Amino acid sequence: MLIRISLILAIIAALAAGTLNVLQVRDKISTLATDRDTQRDGRIAAESEKDKAKKELAKAEKDLAQVHQELTDAKSEREKAVATAAAQTKRADELSDKLAKATQDREDAETKLAAYTATGVSVEQVGKLSHALKTAQEAIEVANEEKIVLQRAISHLKTELAKYVGPEQIIRLRADLKGKILVVDPKWDFVVLNIGQDQGVLEDGELLVSREGKLVAKVIVRSVEKDRCIANVVPGWKLGEVIEGDEVSPAHPAS
């Protein structure tokens, strides 16, 4: 009887030990599975970060190449503007010399005409001198017109050149420049003025808007035509509503 009881106890003890071992093995398996999942998720996250870093590096290289190309293009445009401005300046100097010579020729012709008239020379001689005087006068007028055109071209080129030389360059307009507002668009804050290239308006030039001697706003020219221009109201300078008929004058007049 005692032996049977001992056997039963031994069997019970063996079953308990087996159950405990199964529980421990199951816990270890669960722990290993969790570690495996954690390592897998970490690897996936690391690969994702690696791909993201590659994409960002490729984008940065592309942006750098674009910036380099833009700098190269800007340098080329600046060099072209400098060369064109030099050529136009040389042409203006040549016209000034021609104008001075034509003026001197006209004065000489006037002196000779007066001398011949005083001495009673023939009508034919007076006619020749008169014709020479008229020719010289026409040459002067043509030279003056060409000089004005070249001066406008030089001013425009200097304005364009200022964009490449320095962003803080101030565009100065004629001190006697006066105009009025023809059209106002309050939605987009732009105006149309009755002055343009013929009056000496330059792109990016700034004008003060006034009414009855009081400052209303400041505008900056964005587009210039022959006898009119389009300008935007400068943010922070709108002291009142801009209306048609308001007067404009240079914010930075040339000395």
Whether the Cβ atoms of residue 78 and residue 165 lie closer than 8 Å to each other: yes
Residues with Cβ within 8 Å of 233's Cβ and at least 6 positions away in sequence, in order, are 189, 190, 191, 217, 218, 219, 242
For the chain, the average pLDDT equals: 79
Residues with Cβ within 8 Å of 59's Cβ and at least 6 positions away in sequence, in order, are none
Burial category of 142 from C-beta neighbours within 10 Å (exposed 0-12, middle 13-18, buried 19 and up): middle
Whether the Cβ atoms of residue 193 and residue 179 lie closer than 8 Å to each other: yes
Residue 170, phi then psi, degrees to nearest 5: -90, 130
pLDDT value for 161: 61
CA max distance for the chain: 176
Whether the per-residue pLDDT at 240 is higher than 70: the answer is: yes
d(CA 189, CA 183) in angstroms, rounded, equals 11
Whether the per-residue pLDDT at 176 is higher than 70: the answer is: yes
In the chain, where are the structural domains located? 1-167, 179-250
Query: Which pLDDT band, with edges at 50, 70 and 90, does 244 fall under?
Result: very high
d(CA 226, CA 32) in angstroms, rounded, equals 84
Burial category of 126 from C-beta neighbours within 10 Å (exposed 0-12, middle 13-18, buried 19 and up): middle
Exposure string of 181-195, with b = 16+ CB inside 10 Å and e = fewer, is beebeeeebbbbbeb
- Helix, strand, or coil here: 216? strand
Percent of the chain that is helix, strand, coil (3-state, to 5): 65, 15, 20
**Which run of H or E residues covers position 219?**
strand 214-224
Whether the per-residue pLDDT at 171 is higher than 60: the answer is: yes
- Among 36-50, 103-117, 149-163, 231-245, which stretch is predicted with the lowest mean pLDDT? 149-163
pLDDT in tens, 198-213: 999 999 999 999 999 9
At how many degrees (to 10) do helices 2-119 and 123-165 cross?
170
- Residue 223 to residues 39, 49, 231: CA-CA distances in angstroms? 64, 49, 7
Whether the Cβ atoms of residue 123 and residue 182 lie closer than 8 Å to each other: no
Fold assignment, 179-250: Thrombin, subunit H (2.40.10)
Q: Any alpha helices (H) in 120-176, and if so which ranges?
A: 123-165
For the ranges 140-154, 158-172, 176-190, the maximum mean pLDDT occurs at: 176-190
